[in-house]
């Protein structure tokens, strides 16, 4: 079989020179879906990693450290994705600031308001910069 990408001969499911798949099927909705899932790595461990980290985190970490890694995604990819999702979520939803606590004599309300402003200004930076520390602690 000749590779449609680089022109070299091969007989395996993938070209040994460039890595393209042997099948040159028409682009269908199913093929587009498969390409999208491959791009976001849902085929390779996302759901399994999320479920295991939620239900049995100790077992998941032990399996990963013992070398059983095919079913899981890597820890850095997972951490960066979760930080990205958190930043995206807080950007869309926003960090609520109490509007009713603006009375001049209300020290607690003023503190809440200032803390809310601080989180709005620096929250994303703090989350990203403290991620290695949080990962080390957990």
What pLDDT sits at residue 63?
86
What pLDDT sits at residue 32?
77
Kindly report the number of other CB atoms within 10 A of residue 86's CB atom. 15
Distance CA(137)–CA(34), nearest Å, equals: 37
> Tokens representing 104?
């001049």
CB crowding 93-118: b at 16 or more within 10 Å, else e: eeeeeeeeeeeeeeeebeebbeebee
What pLDDT sits at residue 78?
81
What pLDDT sits at residue 104?
44
Note the pLDDT tens digit of each residue in 91-101.
Answer: 777 665 445 44
pTM, entire model? 0.42
Within the chain, which residues score under 50 in pLDDT?
97-98, 100-105
Per 3-state DSSP, what percentage of the chain is helix, strand, and coil (rounded to 5)?
60, 5, 40
Contact by Cβ (8 Å): 56, 80? no
What pLDDT sits at residue 18?
80
What pLDDT sits at residue 99?
52
Q: What are the residue ranges spanned by the domains of the chain? A: 40-73, 75-138
What pLDDT sits at residue 102?
44
């Amino acid at each position: 079989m000749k590779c449609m990408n680089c022109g070299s001969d091969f007989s395996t499911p993938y070209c040994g020179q460039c890595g393209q798949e042997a099948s040159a099927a028409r682009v269908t909705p199913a093929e587009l879906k498969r390409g999208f899932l491959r791009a976001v790595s849902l085929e390779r461990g996302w759901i399994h990693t999320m479920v295991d980290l939620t239900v049995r985190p100790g077992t998941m970490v032990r399996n990963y450290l013992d070398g059983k890694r095919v079913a899981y995604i890597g820890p850095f990819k997972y951490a960066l994705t979760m930080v990205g999702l958190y930043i995206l979520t807080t950007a869309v939803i926003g960090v609520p600031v109490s509007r009713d606590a603006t009375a001049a004599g209300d020290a607690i309300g003023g503190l809440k308001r200032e803390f809310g402003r601080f989180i709005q200004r620096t929250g994303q930076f703090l989350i990203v910069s403290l991620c290695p520390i949080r990962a080390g602690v957990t």
